[in-house]
Structures are given as structure tokens and as C-alpha cells.
């Protein structure tokens, strides 16, 4: 089993999602894969902006909501044939209705608690993973699994601490009874011990992938992004930066802790412990 994670820019539009689906199709020809996806590029920022505006009693939040909704419906339209769009559109609409209700709550109460912020932020991955799973089904068999049913975490919202034993148990239980070749899951989101939605912190989809890789004793964890590899410096700032062909877990961890944005710092630990490449 391999775990493949695709970040926000890799799933920012339908053209990129098509590329992702080709990569998944090729990878799953050899062995089963778990695919972790981020929210469509920039969605999480927009979700948080919408909630912040609403809590400030600023009606501009409705514009943010509308733009997000339009973008998601556009992706559905571009990826899924008309005859199969109706159920997908109604699920997407349902999620946007829920989001709108939460925004209204923030607007009326002028309040945005950490718990509500976590809930709002989770919509990006819940939407993207669902749409991508439906698009994948047009090409190959795949199963959608909500990672909130797998990953258990503490209830300090937006920066939850993972309960590894409970998480590993859930993964074991689920995957030993399900033999599908491709499983598509949302990154970033988790469930608290009290059953509420939380997140693993900004950039947390990498961490989701690493947690699942460790839980499943994956043969490999692949983190796909728009930068090809780990570089000696940020290649968008330093022209002479070059790719590092091999890197130890500790060096990778240090790089991420000291600001290399290519990987979310807590990501390395779970795979290091299990020596997953």
C-alpha cells in the first residue's frame, strides 16, 4: 500500500485534477493506494476570510461564499459528465448550505470560536475530496472515506494532537475489511474524542498522509506538490537552488522546522518511526 498526497495547487482546477487522476491510475496499477487531497488551492484562506468577515458583521462574507460555491460547481461541471452531475451537485450544495448557516451564525453572534473556525476550515477538504472521488469514479473504481472516521485527535481545535493508538486502531479495522485499490480521503480534518470536527493545523494535509502511511505500514509516502523535490533553498526566491537527491528524515525535519514550506513540520515523525520512505 502506498499513500499519495496532493496539495492545494495540484488540485486547484480541473486540468490539474485530471493530471492527479492519471498519476493515481498509474500508481494503483502496481499496488493499492490511499490518496489524500487538500482543499482546492486557496480555498482554506477564503473559508477563513468569509468567517472572519461574517463575525465582523461585514456582509462581504456572502460574496466570498458565492465565489467559493461557483468555483466548486465549475470544477464539477468540468470533470463529471452531465448525466452524473445531479447527485454530486446536490451534495456540494448541501455542504454549502451548511457552511452558509454557520456563517450566518457568526454574523448574528459576531463571534468566531476556535471550534467554529475548525468546522469552517474543514469544508475545503470535505468538498475537494468528495468531488475528486466522484471524478475518479468516471475513470476507475475508487472508494471515498472520510478521514474524520479514521483520525482521532484532541479537542484543541485547529492544532489538534493526534491520538495515534486510537487512529491506528481505526485504520486497521477499516482497511483490513476493505480491499479496494484506491481510497480517496480528505486531508487536514480529524475528529475529536468527543466526535467534533477539528483540523491538524494549517498545511495539515501532509500530516494526514503521514499518519495514514504509518498506520497502514505503507511501502511509501509520496507528497506531490508544485515544486519538484526538496531544494537547498526556496526555488521561487533563490535561483541557484538545486534539488537534494537524498535527504535523511532528520534533515528533512530540520528543513521544515526552519521554514522550508515544502513540508508541514509534524509530517516526518510518523514515517520516521516506521522508516517509511
The residue ranges that bind ligand ASP (CB under 6 A) are 7-8, 38-39, 44, 124, 187-188, 202-206
The residues pairing with 6 across neighbouring beta strands, listed in sequence order, are 37, 224
Distance CA 140, CA 148 (A): 24
Rg of the chain, C-alpha, whole Å: 18
> Quick one: which of 32, 34, 38, 47 has its CA closest to 9?
38
Q: What is the closest distance, in whole angstroms, from the C-beta atom of residue 208 to ligand ASP in the complex?
A: 8
Cβ proximity to ligand ASP, 14 vs 38, nearer residue: 38
Q: What is the closest distance, in whole angstroms, from the C-beta atom of residue 204 to ligand ASP in the complex?
A: 5
Which value, to the nearest 10 degrees, does the dihedral of the CA atoms of residues 128, 99, 210, 139 take? -20
Cβ proximity to ligand ASP, 14 vs 147, nearer residue: 147
Cβ proximity to ligand ASP, 28 vs 205, nearer residue: 205
Q: What is the closest distance, in whole angstroms, from the C-beta atom of residue 187 to ligand ASP in the complex?
A: 5
Cβ proximity to ligand ASP, 41 vs 107, nearer residue: 41
Q: What is the closest distance, in whole angstroms, from the C-beta atom of residue 146 to ligand ASP in the complex?
A: 16
Residue nearest ligand ASP, Cβ-based: 205
Cβ proximity to ligand ASP, 39 vs 136, nearer residue: 39
Q: What is the closest distance, in whole angstroms, from the C-beta atom of residue 5 to ligand ASP in the complex?
A: 8
Cβ proximity to ligand ASP, 107 vs 204, nearer residue: 204
Q: What is the closest distance, in whole angstroms, from the C-beta atom of residue 263 to ligand ASP in the complex?
A: 10
Amino acid at each position: 500500500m502506498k499513500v499519495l498526497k496532493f496539495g492545494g495547487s495540484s488540485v486547484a482546477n480541473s486540468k490539474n485534477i485530471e493530471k492527479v487522476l492519471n498519476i493515481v491510475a498509474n500508481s494503483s496499477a502496481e499496488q493499492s493506494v490511499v490518496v489524500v487531497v487538500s482543499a482546492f488551492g486557496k480555498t482554506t484562506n477564503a473559508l477563513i476570510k468569509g468567517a472572519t468577515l461574517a463575525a465582523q458583521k461585514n456582509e462581504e462574507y456572502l460574496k466570498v461564499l458565492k465565489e467559493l460555491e461557483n468555483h466548486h460547481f465549475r470544477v464539477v461541471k468540468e470533470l463529471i459528465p452531465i448525466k452524473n452531475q445531479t447527485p454530486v451537485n446536490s451534495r456540494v450544495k448541501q455542504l454549502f448550505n451548511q457552511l452558509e448557516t454557520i456563517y450566518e451564525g457568526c454574523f448574528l453572534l459576531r463571534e468566531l470560536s476556535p471550534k467554529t473556525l475548525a468546522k469552517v476550515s474543514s469544508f475545503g477538504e470535505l468538498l475537494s475530496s468528495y468531488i475528486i472521488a466522484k471524478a475518479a469514479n468516471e475513470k476507475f473504481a475508487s472508494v471515498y472515506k472520510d478521514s474524520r472516521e479514521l483520525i482521532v485527535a484532541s479537542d484543541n481545535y485547529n492544532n489538534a494532537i493526534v491520538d495515534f493508538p486510537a487512529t491506528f486502531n481505526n485504520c486497521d479495522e477499516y482497511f483490513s475489511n476493505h480491499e479496494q485499490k484506491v481510497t480517496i480521503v480528505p486531508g487536514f480534518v480529524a475528529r475529536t474524542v468527543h466526535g467534533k470536527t477539528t483540523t491538524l493545523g494549517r498545511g495539515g494535509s501532509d500530516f494526514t498522509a503521514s499518519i495514514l502511511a504509518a498506520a497502514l505500514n505503507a511501502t511509501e509516502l509520496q507528497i506531490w506538490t508544485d515544486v519538484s523535490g526538496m531544494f537547498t533553498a526556496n526555488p521561487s526566491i533563490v535561483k541557484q537552488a538545486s534539488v537534494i537527491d537524498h535527504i535523511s528524515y532528520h534533515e528533512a525535519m530540520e528543513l521544515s522546522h526552519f521554514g522550508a514550506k515544502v513540508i508541514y513540520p509534524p509530517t516526518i515523525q510518523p514515517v520516521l518511526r516506521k522508516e517509511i520512505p
